[in-house]
Amino acid sequence: MLAELSIIAVRGIGIGAVYAIIAMSFNVVFSSSGILNFAQGTMFILGGFAGYMVIGESVASWPLWLAALLLATVIVAVVVTVQGALTLMPLKDSVEQHSWLISTMAVSVILTATLMLVQGPYSWTVQSPIPSFTIFGMRTPAPYALAVVAMFFWYFVLRWFLNKTLTGLAISAISQDMDAARAAGLRVRRLQLLAFTISGVIVGSAGFIVAPVVTLSADAGMRYVLHGFIAAVVGGIGSNGGAVLGGILLGLLSMFVTFQLGGAYQDILSLVLLVAVLMIRPEGIFGRSSARRV
Amino acid sequence: MNKSGTSIVSDTTADAVALATGPVAGPRLNSDLVQLVIAITLVIIFGLVPNFVGNPYWTQTLQILILYASVSVLQNVLLVDAGQASFGQGAIFGLGAYAAAMAFGLYQMPWIFAVGMGLVGALIGGIIFALPALRVQNFHLGFVTLSAAIVFPQVVVILNDWTNGINGIIVSVPQLTNAGLFGASYLSIVITCFGIAVLCFHYALRRTRFGRRMRVAAASPEAAMALGISPGVMRSVAFIVTAIGIGFAGVMYLPIVGFVTPSAFSLDLSMLFFFAIVVGGRGQILGPILGIIILYFLPNVVFAQFLDYRLLAYGAVTLAVVLLFPDGIVGSFEKWRIKRRHATPDGGLRLDRMIADDLVPAAVGKPVTQAGDVVVKVRGGSKTFGSVVALDGVDLDIRRGEIHGLIGANGSGKTSLLNVLSGFSRLSGGTVSIKDAEITRLSASQIARLGIGRTFQTPRVFSFFSIWDNLRVGLDANPNVDAQLKKRAGALKGRLDTQSAEWLPHGQRRLVEVMRVVLQNADVLLLDEPAAGLSPEERVRFSELLKYLRDTLGTTIILVEHDLDLVLGIADRITVLDTGRVVATGAPAEIASNPAAKHMFVKARNA
Amino acid sequence: MLSINNLVSGYGTVPVLHGISFDVAPGEVLLIGGENGAGKSTLLRTVGGFISADSGSVSVAGREVTKTSPEDRVKAGLRLVLDGHRIFPEMSVFDNLRLGASKALGKDGFEQAVQDIFAVFPILDEKRRNYGRDLSGGQQQMLALGQAFVAQPKVLLCDEPSLGLAQALLPSILQFLRKWANSGTAVVIVEQHLDIAREFADRMLIMERGQMLPESA
């Protein structure tokens, strides 16, 4: 019993960290442009694929692993940036302000299909160069710990970037008051694009790091985008602190469900959680920014 | 029509000729009918011709095409006519199919009973989707429906014991698939008829009161509430009605393929239904069929050797369309056609005349009940937003048949008060009653049904409607339309049904809203800065019109307005607000000399 | 410095400005008055690039900027201070100033400009580490002006600086704008409190229903 609880806790927090990272990458784009990138989950998967396509499925040496991490991050960042440029393009003077809903979804489908063509419908099992470790007497694959490290890393890096650097402050400024930001001469479009790039860096590196413990298949992207979204909604969209809490909560819940009922129930319970939060508290459990109530 | 109607409003000089510009033999505003005919022709060809040729492969493929297209048509209704973006209609389709397959294939129920089960299954799905739609919209709803689409096949697998899990269910309905009438199977006939029925449903829906009100609710929930429509009800009905149709399509999918597995209803299917509309043209009758042909038929049949690229093609085509032709294929063509053939309406269109000549006489004759009694009463009204006090102990009496001006500086609470009166926001303290009915806690749509009409700072005029349909939604909200009003309104229809509202100049848009409220039979009008954006001449005409409505219909008019000259010129009484309090109430002359309000009348130019 | 020629604009189909023309010289303070809804804010927003002009032209220091984005106009030396003391609430006073700074200023120039601001509004110095949201309305207005000042524009447009402020504060803010203009900046102020604002202006124009009334000196 205790053993089971500690597995749920350790792996739940680990997988929750992944959801939290995806949720934070959502937030970066959302707060600068009001866009929720439906392709973010596929980008996450792309990060894993891109890296391991280079180093192969077997255990890689440390330097090679780091090089692959860098490469995966750059590839995803570039792809997301291109996607961002395409997504922002019709928003310039279009009346149809919700075209992003469709265009980001279309990009997600395109990427999934491309991965499917390249890799087939099978999921990959890849090895981490870092050995498993033991916590509470449980052998735990290292990527779970790495995910938690990455989550805190990005949380604090984003905090620093958005609050301390001039560029980060400018992105924060857009989310606080778009008109005032433009009046102050901030290059809104360029900053929004940069936010896409940053979200790509976050999600691409995370995808590579945790690849050994997640289902790495072409069509898994949708699951991750949903779980990232649920984490963001639970935490309150736009709040990175909320994303961390929401992600962990969701991770623990889905691990608990997996152990109690079986893995097949994970997505269903997540959907129930999403609907419950939206019906009861659309602004999120920890959040202030509100969903559009009607 | 004719210029016989004597103009009561303002001058009768040269511009009365404008009325003679009558029915423009202009182009049709939309090509719905043409599109419907093309679409039905396609369905008939796809549904029946392969039967006679006797090619089972083509028969099957084209039957599926019709079913998918029908689902897309219904998704089109949901997305455009009801304004609900759902990425999960594939799950509804699957629910219909699985409920029927289980009943027929696993529990050996009669086919007809299985069909019923399928419809019930889809109906339950529709209700489940409608619930979150009451609460959230846009991308939130998109994600909920998206996850439902992902979860559906998983649920089927989990419920292994009842659904046969990943092994699927065999469904063979020979009495349907065997040749029936004139060489066509009953299945083909049913599917063809279903396709036609769905198309006709979409076409007809737009021409009903209900369909128009649904579109208004989708485009502007505020305008809908002001017309007594509850947007939540509209959304729920849209989800439920389309779910039943989609469920039927799901049921009919069974005899075509003869076998179902959970993987047939994956996310890809939901994406196909949604993307088909985007590619074909959102809101266009023909759009979904064209979209399904491009996204399903071409990749599967013409480029069958590239089947692996099908998903890629979905995404790429959709992305290209969103970026290059945001209106979709049919939509872009429509836009081009209308632009090319439709000149902007002539400046001579005098809607104010039409109100005076056509509408008002029809409405006159109903008893103007004792002018002078208090019709709107606010007592101790206060409203706070967080720490900001918008209204602070407001007492207000509006008498029947008066034009009552509400004036005050920016942020004095005028618009807050108007929103409280029309139910768009609720008082934090105090009471409001209208016509002796307490309305403090009523919703905006309930208040509208009491005969309270309002206009908005930005006129809610819908470019997808003709000018006539823009007015007609007012008539739709009128509970007792008598024959005379109908006849008079019919006269307007002839003149305005072929005119698009898209290029109406602002001044005319304002009048469209006022005409709409008159047609709504509202006897209390709340006007929110109606003169903003009107030219000086238009302001004069507009004031004349308001006076005319008061004098002939006995309409009570509450006017929030910055143009003090206008208010002083037409108001019977004026209330001055300052930081949420009433500082003065009285006749214009009293107000102008009241020390508390005086500073407002010190003209900038005299400063 | 600023030259507006026959400007026509509006929101969507709502026409608001019906052909506005005026010029402002370097060092001049132009006061624009008029009733609510006369189109004053629309005028400033059109000049600032937030509303695209249907016709007419806007030039800053001889350069036409009619078709450019608000960001490009800032670069060209045109700075609009929106009404309602719009600053960034979730960051410190100092960060608000940093974001407004012109790149051309350099580090020393920026520090000097900030010192100038703090000299005029010492309260901002005191609260330099506080969040924008913690300031009073008047302090936020000072900060909004400070943010514009560090951009060192050639033309400053100021929309209703008195809005939501205690009237007693207005003279000090106008005094600041006056001094600023004296250093060669062209300043346009839209204001309702004309009686107070007039003392600080060189010229006054009145708008009515989207048109400029003929000048009556």
Residues of C in contact with A173 (CB under 8 A): 88, 91, 99
The reply to whether A242 falls in a domain is yes
A289 located within any domain:
no
Residue C105 sits at the chain A interface (C-beta within 8 Å): no
Cross-chain residue pair C70–A172, CB shorter than 8 Å: no
| ipTM score for this prediction | 0.89
Interface B–C counts its CB contacts (< 8 A) at 52
pLDDT at A55: 79
pLDDT for the residue A139: 79
Specify the number of domains making up chain A: 1
Q: How many CB atoms lie within 10 A of CB A156?
A: 11
Cα(A278)–Cα(B140) distance, rounded to whole angstroms? Answer: 8
Q: What structural domains does chain C harbor?
A: 2-212 (3.40.50.300)
Structural domain that includes position A170: 2-280
Minimum distance, in Å, between the CA of residue A103 and any CA atom of chain B: 6
Chain C stretch 116-175, residues whose beta carbon is closer than 8 A to a beta carbon of chain B: 163-164
Residues 21-80 of C with CB under 8 A from A: 48-50, 69-71, 74-75, 79-80
Q: Which of C69, C73, C74, C99 to mutate to test the interface with A (most CBs of A within 10 A)?
A: C99
Is residue A62 included in any domain, yes or no? yes
- B partners (3+ CB pairs within 8 A) are A, C
Subunit contact C194:B604, Cβ cutoff 8 A:
yes
Residue of B603, B600, B571, B607 lying closest to B587 (CA atoms): B571
Q: Are residues B540 and B381 in contact, defined by beta-carbon separation less than 8 angstroms?
A: no
Ranges of chain B whose pLDDT falls below 50:
1-26, 344-347, 367, 603-607
Residues C147-162: what's their mean pLDDT? 91
Where helices occur in C62-168 by DSSP H, the ranges are 70-75, 93-100, 106-120, 122-126, 137-149
Interface test with B, best of A118, A227, A278 (most B CBs within 10 A): A278
The overall average pLDDT reported for chain C is: 88
Chain B residues touching chain C at CB-CB below 8 Å: 409-411, 458, 504-506, 509, 529, 531-533, 535-536, 562-564, 603-605, 607
DSSP H helices in B450-529: 467-476, 483-496, 506-519
Q: Is C146 exposed, middle or buried (0-12, 13-18, 19+ CB in 10 A)?
A: buried
User: Is residue A115 within 8 Å of residue A243, measured between CB atoms?
Assistant: no
Low-confidence ranges of chain A (pLDDT < 50): 93-95, 289-294
Q: Angle at which helices A142-164 and A188-210 pack, to 10 degrees?
A: 160
Give chain C positions within 8 Å (CB) of B603: 35
Contact C149, C81 (CB under 8 A): no
Q: What is the pLDDT of residues B332-363, one digit of tens each?
A: 888 888 777 655 444 456 677 777 666 666 66
Buried-exposed string B531-558: b where 16+ CB fall within 10 A, e elsewhere: bbbbbeebbebbbbbbbbbbeebbbbbb
* Tens digit of each residue's pLDDT (9 = 90 or more) over B228-258: 999 989 999 999 999 999 999 999 999 999 9
Q: Which two tokens stand for residue C132?
A: 């924008």
Dist CA B120 CA C203 (whole Å): 75
pLDDT reported for residue B341: 64
- Domain over B351-366+374-599 is classified CATH 3.20.20.70: no
Short-list C120, C132, C127, C118, CA closest to C177: C120
CATH value at residue A122: 1.10.3470
Burial of A93 (0-12, 13-18, 19+ CB in 10 A): exposed
Which residues of B fall within a CB distance of 8 Å from C34?
Answer: 604
Distance from CA of B376 to the nearest CA of C (A): 27
Residue that the structure tokens 């870092």 belong to? A130
Cβ partners under 8 Å of residue A53, min gap 6: none
CA distance C216 to chain A (A): 32
Task: Indicate yes or no: CB of C36 within 8 angstroms of CB of B536.
Answer: no
pLDDT digits (tens, 9 = 90+) for C20-35: 999 999 999 999 988 7
Longest dimension (CA), chain B: 92
Chain B residue closest in CA terms to A93: B326
Q: What stretch of H or E contains B277?
A: helix B267-280
CB contact under 8 Å between C14 and B506, yes or no, is: yes
Res. C106: pLDDT tops 50: yes
Given a contact cutoff of 8 angstroms between Cβ atoms, the answer to whether B189 and B200 are in contact is no
Residues of chain A above pLDDT 90, percent: 45
Q: What is the percentage of chain C residues whose pLDDT exceeds 70?
A: 96
What is the mean predicted confidence (pLDDT) over C182-199? Answer: 87
> Which of C37, C163, C206 faces B562 most closely, judged by CB atoms?
C37
| 8-state DSSP, C170 | H
List CB contacts (< 8 A) between B533 and chain C.
Answer: 10-11, 14-16
Residue extents of the structural domains in chain B: 32-265, 351-366+374-599
